[in-house]
Amino acid sequence: ENLAEARVLVGSAPRTGVAAGSVADTLRRTLRRFTDDTGTRVTAELPDVTCDQQTRIALLRCTQESLANIRKHAAASTVEVVLTAQPYGIELEITDDGAGFVTEDSHGFGLHGMRKRLAELGGELTVTSSVGDGTRVLAMIPTDGRG
């Protein structure tokens, strides 16, 4: 279903590169599926923010990968997702109350892929976690007047 969602995003992009609809709506659907599949409680602050198609896809992919990691590794009971438009860009913060991990020991492709995707847009990914204390993923994508 997540792949289908991404295909819809790509297919709905008009020639201007800006998709119709809201990134917040897309993330809400993704979070609803996650809750339905896992039973994990999710709270979200997802205001309507305007962004281009590449940014929207990057935010969706970061959300999907973070949720996949939470499902596989965290054993979290709650997840919080906050999307914020800042003067310099868009931030997406995903936190969980799960098992946490030692970030220096993480060598998986998921976080690497998220970092690479964000870097291609001039953004960055910050992951903070400690064993037994949950995880915080912060994706920042500059808008440079694009959004």
- Per-residue pLDDT tens digits for 83-140: 999 999 999 999 999 998 877 666 666 788 999 999 999 999 999 998 989 999 999 9
Q: How many CA atoms within 13 Å lie on the side-chain side of 144?
A: 7
42 phi/psi in degrees, rounded to 5: -125, 130
pLDDT confidence of residue 107: 60
The model's pTM is 0.82
Q: What is the pLDDT of residue 37?
A: 96
- The answer to whether residue 146 scores a pLDDT higher than 80 is no
The three-state secondary structure class of 66 is helix
DSSP 14-52: -TTS--SS-HHHHHHHHHHHHHHHH--EEEEE-------
Domains located in the chain, CATH noted? 2-142 (3.30.565.10)
Question: What residues pair up with 136 in beta bridges, in sequence order?
Answer: 95, 128
